Structure 1
Amino acid sequence: MKFAVSYSTPYHGVDPDKIMAYARHAEDCGFEALYLPEHIALYPGAAVGRFELPPSLPYFDPLDCLSFVAAATRRILLGTGVLLLPYHHPVILAKRLATIDVLSKGRMRLLTVGLGALPGEARAVGVDFGTRGRRADEAIDVMRLLWAGGEEGVSFDGEFFAFDELCQFPKPYGVTHLPIHVGGSSRAAARRAGRRGDGYFPGGALAPDERALQMDLARAAAAEAGRSPETLEYTRSGSIDMTVEQVEAFAAQGVTRVVVGATATEPERQREEMSAFAQRFALLDTTEAGTRT
């Protein structure tokens, strides 16, 4: 089991010194990765399910913020949870992701993408809300094609994106493509993860039976696409105070990674929560923890 930590700017704040300290302490504690969410724009009345999002919530661009984190850390992997893929042009996004991966020496490895749930956000960037699933599928294909392509160039002719003999360098750091995980709470998201993703990160509000069904769908879709269901990673959100027994229950369900987030707002308490979790699950590297200034 791998353990990662999330940082939510609407909850934890946008102070760069606090973000840097949070990321560095997570790294010192032995967490695998730091995850950031995305919203490009909000508006009065925007809601995800029954939860209304105040329009003043501050969301950093996750990739810009992860670049900042990469420069302040040494080892921790960089993740999104989730990047709203249909609202990004995949040719530009492929370049941005490869750039971060090269500059961080191979740490942009936990990209998780989703479709977005706010129609007004889609309209604001000129995307038909009803087409965002198909756009996301094409975007994944485009990015992988560009990352793998050579000096002879690659071509693509899709519903939303098209180009001829396109070359894009630099490539990701030492790999032919970056892992792409799929997030979401629908059966369509689970099937997308199986067909195209390197992992599935389902939403946290699913009932146990639906959650199990969706993972079965993801694995079945992978097999149908000629891919190996066994290599599909399964990420779940957890709580910073979760017990060993709860993690063992996750493992029994096939979960390979748990993402938690500090609940405290004060930096000292955040560090205490992360340290306690690391000690509980033997993540803490005692030779490094607490050595940063």
Structure 2
Amino acid sequence: MEFGISYSTPFFGADPETLLGFARDAEEFGFESFYLPEHVALYPGAKIGEVALPPSLPYADPLECLSFVAAGTRRILLGTGVLLLPYHHPVTLAKRLATIDVLSGGRMRLLTVGVGALPGEARAVGVDFASRGRRADEAIDILRALWAGDESGVGFAGEFHRFEDACVYPKPLGELPIHVGGSSAAAARRAGLRGDGYFPGGRLTAEERRRQFALVRTTAIAAGRDPDRVQYTRWGSLDMSPEDVETLAAEGVTRIVISPGDADPGRRRDALGAFAAQMSLTT
């Protein structure tokens, strides 16, 4: 089992010392990965389910933050949880992700993409909210094609994007995985059909999670893909026990991402250290 840490700029702030200190603590204690979420634009009245999102929440750009973290760390893998893929142009995004991967020495390995849940956010970037799933599918195909392309160029003719002879360099240092986040059946199918991993949201029941991951696997099999190669990431908490982890491992989970709930740097560091010792992350 691998363990990651999620850093929420709305909760912890976008202060560079706090961000980098958090990442360095996670790396020191043996955590595998460091994740950031994304919202491109909020608005008055924005809600996800029953949770209101004040429009002043400081959602810093996750890729800019990860580039900054990469410069101040040596080992920890970089992830998004989630990047709102339909709201990015896939050609420019391919360049940004490959650049981070190169500058970090091949650590942009846990890109997790989603489609977003806020209609107003889609409107702010000129995207039809109803089209975001199809846009995500198209973008995943474009990213992979551009990273695999050579000097002869890549062409694409889709519903939302059309181009010819596009060459995007530098290339990632090896294959850059794309994980799929989201709790819907569509997200599970997308993970099985196109994803290197599946990272569902935290509001599903145990039975819903079982059905969703089963859908990931059956979709992969139907597409001629090996379902065992699709990693399974889940949210966890600092109060988890080794027995809790064993239960998740038995369900096929390969990675647990923790979101610490204390903004005080000293208490947060102590909590991360205690969790790492309990899970034998440090040697």
TM-score, with normalisation over the residues of structure 2?
0.99
Deviation at 1:225, TM superposition (A): 1.1
* Secondary structure of the corresponding residue to residue 278 of structure 1: helix
Q: Which moved more, 1:262-271 or 1:69-78?
A: 262-271
Residue 291 of structure 1 corresponds to which residue in structure 2? none
Do residues 4 (structure 1) and 4 (structure 2) align?
Answer: yes
Alignment of 1:223-242 (within 5 A): 223-242=221-240
Asked if residue 246 in structure 1 is aligned to residue 244 in structure 2, the reply is yes
TM-fit CA distance, 1:210: 0.9
Aligned residue pairs total 283
The aligned residue for residue 132 of structure 2 is 132
Cα RMSD of the aligned pairs, angstroms, is: 0.7
What letter is aligned with 1:273?
A
Distance 1:68 1:170 in 2: 19
For residues 60-101 of structure 1, give each alpha carbon's deviation from its aligned partner in whole angstroms, at most 9, with x where no partner exists.
Answer: 000000000000000000000000000000000000000000
Deviation at 1:115, TM superposition (A): 0.3
- Equivalent residues in 2 for 1:59-98 (5 A)? 59-98=59-98
Aligned to 1:51: 51
**1:98-117 correspondence to structure 2 within 5 Å:** 98-117=98-117
Q: What are the superposed Cα offsets for residues 89-122 of structure 1, whole Å, 9 maximum, x if unpaired?
A: 0000000000000000100000000000000000
| Displaced runs of 4 or more, over 2 A | none
C-alpha displacement at 1:240, in angstroms? 1.2
The CA distance in 2 between the partners of 1:179 and 1:117, in whole Å, is 23
1:269 and 2:267 are equivalent in the alignment: yes
Higher mean C-alpha deviation, range 276-285 or range 84-93: 276-285
Q: Indicate the SS of the match to 1:248.
A: helix
Structure 2: how far apart are the matches of 1:89 and 1:130? 17
1:128, distance to aligned residue in structure 2 (A): 0.2
The residue that corresponds to 1:150 in the other structure is: 150
Tell me the SS of whatever aligns to 1:222.
Answer: helix
Counterpart of 1:37?
A: 37
C-alpha distance in 1, partners of 2:113/2:54?
Answer: 23
CA deviation vs aligned residue, 1:242-265 (integer Å, no higher than 9, x gap): 111111110111100000022111
Instruction: State the Cα distance separating 1:13 from its structure 2 match.
Output: 1.4
Alpha-carbon offset, residue 284 of structure 1: 1.5
Identity between Structure 1 and Structure 2 (%):
66
Partner Cα separation in structure 2 for residue 204 and residue 250 of structure 1: 14
Within 2, Cα distance between the matches of 1:187 and 1:210?
Answer: 10
Among residues 206, 217, 224, which one is paired with 1:219 in the alignment? 217
1:201 alignment partner AA: F
Q: Distance in 1 between matches of 2:164 and 2:181?
A: 30
Partner amino acid, structure 1, of 2:169: F
Measured in 2, the distance between the counterparts of 1:26 and 1:210 equals: 31
The match for 1:257 is: 255
In the aligned structure 2, how far is the partner of 1:10 from the partner of 1:154? 38
Instruction: Give, in angstroms, the shift of residue 166 of structure 1.
Output: 1.2
Aligned to 1:182: 180
Q: Distance in 2 between matches of 1:113 and 1:31?
A: 21
> Offset at 1:56?
1.0
Question: How far off its partner does 1:154 sit?
Answer: 1.2
- The range that moved more, 10-19 or 119-128, is 10-19
One-letter amino acid of the counterpart of residue 60, structure 2: F
